[in-house]
Amino acid sequence: MFSVGQSQRDLCDELCSKCKSKIQQCTDNAWRIYDRLVKDWRHYDNLVWQLPFGTMTAVGVILTLAYHYIPSNEHCVRAALFLALAWFTLTMMHLSYKVRYFQIERSACIEAIEHLCTGFTIPYHTEGAYDLIFKERIKKKELWFYNLRTFSFVIIMYIGLTIALLYLAIRELLTIAIMYVIICIIIIAIIALLIILFKYN
């Protein structure tokens, strides 16, 4: 997918040139492809933000129900649930990443058709919008904030949620391990006492 050190703009330019090489003439077919690409882009744009929101909502609801309905002494059940939720979160993160890549791919082809057919391109990514419109409006002290990729925060959210769920699972598993260690110590102590009692009787 994304190569190391490759910016979104470089990737878009690379994909854009590939689309231009495939679409040689601005025909009705090109505009049909353009319409489909725009619909795809909008669909992926919705998914990019619906997936993290849906994931957070689902995990939050399941955790609330788990803490309310699963007894606190059911450590195995809770640990299994937390591990399953962590896996679900990782899966949604991977899906979000792929959806974002598909969206970038579509935007590059849209820009290629626009450039080929009209000579003008409406930017579909932050850097393009900055070059076209915002360069004069954004102050230098605000530029660092503007250049932050919002999707990076989504990935950080997924990673943070996964770490939190793994922590909860490990805490439950440690509780189980401590309980078994205590049970083993008690059994060993009882056996030792029985041995001592039989030895001196």
In a domain, 155, yes or no: yes
In a domain, 7, yes or no: no
In a domain, 53, yes or no: yes
Per-residue pLDDT, 146: 60
In a domain, 185, yes or no: no
In a domain, 187, yes or no: no
In a domain, 193, yes or no: no
Domain count, the chain: 1
Across the chain, which has 201 residues, the per-10-residue mean pLDDT values are 48 60 66 83 90 94 90 86 93 92 84 76 65 58 66 90 92 85 86 78 57
Neighbours of 74 (CB within 10 A): 14
Q: Which domain holds residue 95?
A: 12-125+140-173
Per-residue pLDDT, 3: 46
Per-residue pLDDT, 1: 44
Per-residue pLDDT, 148: 67
Do residues 145 and 62 lie in contact, with contact meaning Cβ atoms separated by under 8 Å? no
- HEC states along 89-135? HHHHHHHHHHHHHHHHHHHHHHHHHHHHHHCCCCCCCHHHHHHHHHC
Per-residue pLDDT, 193: 81
Q: Which residues of 162-177 are buried (b: 16+ CB within 10 A; e: fewer)?
A: bebbbebbeebbebee
In a domain, 196, yes or no: no
In a domain, 157, yes or no: yes
